[in-house]
Structure 1
């Protein structure tokens, strides 16, 4: 085994599952910290925690190669006051708790990755946003990201290197955005959303996992890193690609006013669809990361080819 122990805090969701499967052949143990117990799957084990209080789970972090924090309430909801508070607390509290525990350790994790969000950048249709010159946006979701990253970096963990991985939309087989977009295509609703000019930054699920291992090996890198494929594409082009790849010639578009009505009905926010997220992975590229899937066409074909 290449690694002794990989820890996934809040790893019971979609991306946590991708990471667990990626590391199961590479590590002696993959430990998921979750609010609910699950039966062990060979070397993938679950320990119960609440993300707020210290407990017996804390000892497992000692000597870990990598800690990836995935905690956070799903933002696919209406931004009511209650949901806003839960979205913030579910990110800030586990980050503070992990820092407290790590700060007491003689052999803390070598690398701590907090998976944050590329939505921290402004709505951008003019040029891509990178880690060095990108403009931070405004609004609730951006405020959450800023507070989350500030909480992460202001904690003192001198023996643990830290990376805030600003994740783009993860495209994969089993969950996340891809199956939902594909369902629209299947039912003839796969036209552009809004005016279709908003950019979509994305990352194939295997690159999302692979780059965490690459960062573990790149001991000189820390700080903020964008996790997105090099080539973003417009919403219009993305939906066209999905229709072509699936063999559906036409899809009805959804204007912004219709999306607002639909968002209220299903309990979400139109920002998740209409904001232009144009992000470039400058630090990954500058430091030699090689993408498995750098083009959306190849990523979509791969996902469809092994569709369950």
Structure 2
């Protein structure tokens, strides 16, 4: 296959690229700084682009089988000032809209468009369980951002392109993403309950992200929202206890909600609130998680 990825130099993109190359696919990374990367693999190409210039790249991007859009300002990049919130949503919408313009210009449109999304779509709750069938009515910042993002991406369906919204939970990896920050207090023997500890954490091993992406690419009946979370979400206190047990560290020093709100502002919702999200669509279609439980996941990540 020929696979184009925006955001391909980021955390998830790097794992996907490595896997696709191992399967002998051709990978095209769309980046603003192509000269910063070098590859001796003939199946990997870095293509310079911006939201203002992509139409000039049409010839280079004809005949792609799959487009994967992972681009967007990080939600963990400092306090959520009004300016930062604008960047978070605008970067996502601008890239998505630019890709849609490209698709309209192509003579040979891709067969599949996978647009990144997030479980923040559902809003937060301590007692509800969400699946892909649930329609969000939440109006918090993250929910509204994801709702708008998916609305823009959905235009690809009108072009006859199979479209999938990859609703990511917390993606776990040893070096990147949220896990290193969550584990750090335990390494210094000061780990403990965050907030009430009752908030739900819907998560997935980075290896299962790759596995599920591959599963979607090879199963043409899959479209619409797909939850990238394991079947076993866990409450934050249980998450911390499992970290402590796997690393052989205590779980005793709480981080109270009021302190986190003072430090992080509105961004504290990322650790103080959550949602219990299940991957019903993937499971119903036969996907098998390699690492379904948190203990299996952390043991795999920290075994070396």
Q: Is the 8 A contact 2:190 2:250 kept in 1?
A: no
1:71 lines up with 2:68 in the alignment: no
Which residue of structure 2 lines up, in the alignment, with residue 301 of structure 1? 299
Shift of 1:228: 0.6
- Whether contact under 8 Å (1:185, 1:251) holds in the other structure is no
Q: Measure how far apart 1:56 and its partner are.
A: 4.2
Q: Aligned partners of 1:41, 1:166: CA distance in 2, in Å?
A: 33
Counterpart of 1:269 in structure 2 is 267
Instruction: Tell me, in whole angstroms, the C-alpha distance in 1 between the residues paired with 2:241 and 2:156.
Output: 45
Measure, in 2, the Cα distance between the counterparts of 1:205 and 1:136.
Answer: 29
Give the CA deviation at 1:156. Answer: 5.3
Give the structure 1 partner of residue 57 of structure 2. Answer: 57
Q: SS in structure 2 opposite 1:68?
A: strand
CA, structure 1 residues 125+52, in 2 after alignment: closer, same or farther (shift >3 Å)? farther
The Cα offsets for residues 202-254 of structure 1, whole Å up to 9 and x where unpaired, read as: 01101111111111111112111111101000000000000110011234110
1:282 lines up with 2:280 in the alignment: yes
User: In the TM superposition, what are the counterparts of 1:165-176 in structure 2 within 5 Å?
Assistant: 165-176=166-177
Q: Is the 8 A contact 1:9 1:68 kept in 2?
A: yes
Deviations 1:130-183 (A, max 9, x none): 111354422111111111111111345534211011111100122001111111
Q: Which runs of 5+ in 1 are unaligned?
A: none
Q: Are 1:27 and 2:24 an aligned pair? A: yes
The TM-score normalised by the length of structure 2 is: 0.93
TM-score (norm 1): 0.92
Given that residues 121 and 277 in structure 1 are in contact (C-alpha distance below 8 angstroms), is that contact kept between their aligned partners in structure 2? yes
8 Å CA contact retained: 1:52, 1:93: no
Structure 1 residue 41 displacement after superposition: 4.7
In 2 relative to 1, CA 7–302 (structure 1 residues): closer, same or farther, beyond 3 Å? Answer: same
State whether residues 102 and 157 of structure 1, in contact with CA within 8 Å, keep that contact through their aligned partners in structure 2.
no
Which residues of structure 2 form unaligned runs of 5+?
none
Name the counterpart of 2:3: 6
Tell me the CA shift for residue 50 of structure 1.
1.6
The verdict on how the C-alpha distance between 1:108 and 1:20 changes in structure 2, with shifts beyond 3 A counting, is: same
Q: In the alignment, which residue of structure 1 is the partner of 2:13?
A: 16
8 Å Cα contact 1:169/1:177 also seen in 2: yes
Alignment of 1:4-153 (within 5 A): 5-37=2-34, 38-42=37-41, 43-76=43-76, 77-133=78-134, 135-153=136-154
**2: CA distance between counterparts of 1:55 and 1:154?**
18
Q: How many residues align?
A: 300
Which residue number corresponds to residue 190 of structure 1? Answer: 191
Q: Indicate how the Cα distance of structure 1 residues 64 and 95 shifts in structure 2: closer, same or farther if over 3 A, else same.
A: same
